[in-house]
Structure 1
């Protein structure tokens, strides 16, 4: 990612009309490197840079030159005139060789010609502000880049193509119709015809709630694909945490020995579970120790446990859950889901099983042979409420919160049906919550937070 030079504060309107430039390809060496430029009237810019005025949407072979005529690089020049471009402005793409030095030289030349270095996410922000994409689609750009599983990538593409936005738009259209009915009733209270009853407003609200529940569930599934599940393996030394990580990952990620305390630091592995990214963290064994290095590893273990979605507490099936495991359970925070795993059933006369004990689940398995590991995978899917589907769209926590707020306002509206003023207000708030997903109603602070997390060049 390119370093940003210090800049002085400028009015937002002035900055929005600037010509911006950035390296759009990942840092490092590659066969091809791309610099993206966006702003008004870039044909003169292209002429100064290459001596050519490219034909729109055609690749033009060009030499990119310094001010004294020295060639910086040779490559392709593409011109996408406004408004038919990603940002809705004139856009140039300079495709050259992917060496970091030559790309920095070419970027410096673009800045000499009057462009400034783009802020993180500024190309996507301009696309949003110019009506080329909505806010949910803009976020899907990053989600597609960051997708860690094929299922997440497919869901991100669906959101980028507008599937999620269309669902939100249809819900919004139904809300607008209801608001119009309520406002008409408020405006004409003496009319003999009861608009709300005649138009089946109560039935419409019920159907809207059902449709919203379906959209929420698809978005919740997409949120799992986007964020995944963070699972921490905890327990005493030598209970098989590293062996279980290796078994789940299908690879030797962690060193396994018979010596207690082999794992002294965190070992991370990411695998797919029905398309969900499963971030599994093997940790140092939890025990009293005077070894300073092991102590540091144990401190890191507790920090990871505090951030986990699920904690798998491993115990040796030959010994069962003893005082040490109960002490660990007592120290666990309340928010992660807990599952007790009795490992090494291959060393005792026991079979793989899942059983419920009080408020917790206990799974007996063998990380060595693999027996019972499928029960653990099924339990993890059960914990997140995963339902296989091909029509989910990628979603973020703020989307789920907005949908949940919408559901709450609609439920309150249903309860306030006889009181038209309160009903109208709840429907208005529901529409505002929905609009925040696609950016119809978004503050500048929200836009800054969202686009500020993008990479430079996007």
Structure 2
């Protein structure tokens, strides 16, 4: 029995109590493997794609639960294999009893517990989903904002994959022309002009750039932005976290050193998730607990996407503030936030550079900070309906394809017009794009991707 035909089973609903719980079984085709499960488990054979209500039976024929059974013969199922779903009451004990009974009843056909993501991996391997769509299943489950959920749903429906396939089709067409010309060297000189190869390549590069830009937006929806608040004690970091979150998530007192450890809160701005991290105030500390908190502050700073350096409007150029600014890592987006302008109204008159002036207490300037964070992230609002979710590996593949197309353009511009090198760069660009949809993907990468799914998917 091959790996893919080996039947698998798992609880497909989230752990905990709920009105409904689902046990899913998948394996084989044509009912040869899963059909023998039905009689001992349900006392009957099911009609395809019809909900059947009844008892789920234990080995002695006594009911474990009452529920609905659904039978999806291949290939019309999520995995492309025969699938049996048992929908019962969602108590964890009931679900475990039902799964144990399913495994017992299926022992003669080698039924085993599914590995994380194995149902979706089988859907990918059976051509029900490409790799980008398969990844979007997990992204939809994990979406932390409405915009992220809509983007994941768009990817699951194939929006991202269609863009990638459109690019690949145009590259394939150009490759076909180039490689056909290679068989007739006497035509090579006029090829670039006759076939408008340079024009076609320019259009492909422009389309790729647009797709990459959309993918950046999709990656931002998925990954969010890690924003770290740093500064001296009592400059208002915790107050700013509360103002951005719209709730009292951090303790605020006039006592210096109140925040001893990192406090994080996930918020959203225009649907973009941001993890805002409040940190211990930076100063020369003698208290051991506070010293550990300050060490963790610098750890958070090193992993930040954006650093907001808070200073008190009453002491904006204090020596410690300048020392902190000098220690912030280069290469990370940084903004200086001048807080407590309600206590120093004249501070705004000296606004300069990239400093933002606000009052976390009154809310003045908070909206401007939100807009600035979106700008730093590179977020482009407005086109939400056409946006899809994307991952860092997708961005890497698109950037690699862009590099190969850039080199192809350099070959096309040369006077000697070396078409074999031109064709090779087109091939490499196409291969990079194919990694997004999984048409050319190493097995070890597939293992990493699907291992991050929950067991029931």
TM-score by length of 2: 0.94
Q: In the alignment, which of 12, 31, 35 is matched to residue 23 of structure 2?
A: 35
Between 287-296 and 206-215, report the one with greater CA deviation: 287-296
Distance across 1 between alignment mates of 2:301 and 2:101: 49
Measure, in 1, the Cα distance between the counterparts of 2:48 and 2:350. Answer: 63
Shift of 1:331: 2.1
Per the alignment, residue 6 of structure 1 pairs with: none
Take 2:82 and 2:278, find their aligned partners in 1: how far apart are those partners? Answer: 50
Over residues 319-345 of structure 1, what are the superposed CA-to-partner deviations in whole Å (9 max), with x where a residue is unaligned? 113211122222222232111111000
Aligned mates of 2:350, 2:271 — CA distance in 1: 23
The CA distance in 2 between the partners of 1:354 and 1:56, in whole Å, is 74
Equivalent-residue separation in structure 1 for 2:350 and 2:73 (angstroms)? 62
2: CA distance, partners of 1:38 / 1:192: 54
Taking the aligned partners of 1:416 and 1:226, their CA distance within structure 2 comes to: 37
- Shift in Å at residue 229 of structure 1? 0.5
* Aligned equivalent of 1:176: 172
1:82 corresponds in structure 2 to 74
1:393-432 correspondence runs (5 A):
393-417=388-412, 418-432=417-431
Identify the residue that residue 383 of structure 1 maps to in structure 2: 376
Moved more, 287-296 or 23-32: 287-296
**Counterparts of residues 63-142 of structure 1 (less than 5 Å):** 63-112=55-104, 113-114=106-107, 115-142=111-138
State the aligned residue count.
443
Structure 1 residues 355 and 175: CA distance shift in structure 2, 3 A: farther
Is contact 2:67-2:87 (8 Å) kept? yes
Alignment root-mean-square deviation, CA: 1.5
Q: Which runs of 5+ in 2 are unaligned?
A: none
The residue correspondences of 1:37-56 to structure 2 (distance < 5 A) are: 37-40=25-28, 41=31, 42-56=34-48
Selected match of 2:357 from 364, 368, 384: 364
> Counterpart of 1:304?
300
Contact 1:86 1:127 in 2 (8 A): yes
Distance in 2 (CA, whole Å) between partners of 1:178 and 1:28 is 54
Unaligned 5+ residue runs, structure 1? 1-12
> Is the counterpart of residue 313 in structure 1 residue 309 in structure 2?
yes
Contact kept in structure 2, 1:354 and 1:375, CA below 8 Å: no
Give the drift of 1:307.
1.0
Partner of 2:277: 281
Cα distance change on mapping 1:176 and 1:192 into 2, 3 Å? closer
Change (3 A) 1:66 1:354: farther
Distance 2:333 2:213 in 1: 20
Q: Which residue of 1 aligns with 2:8?
A: 20
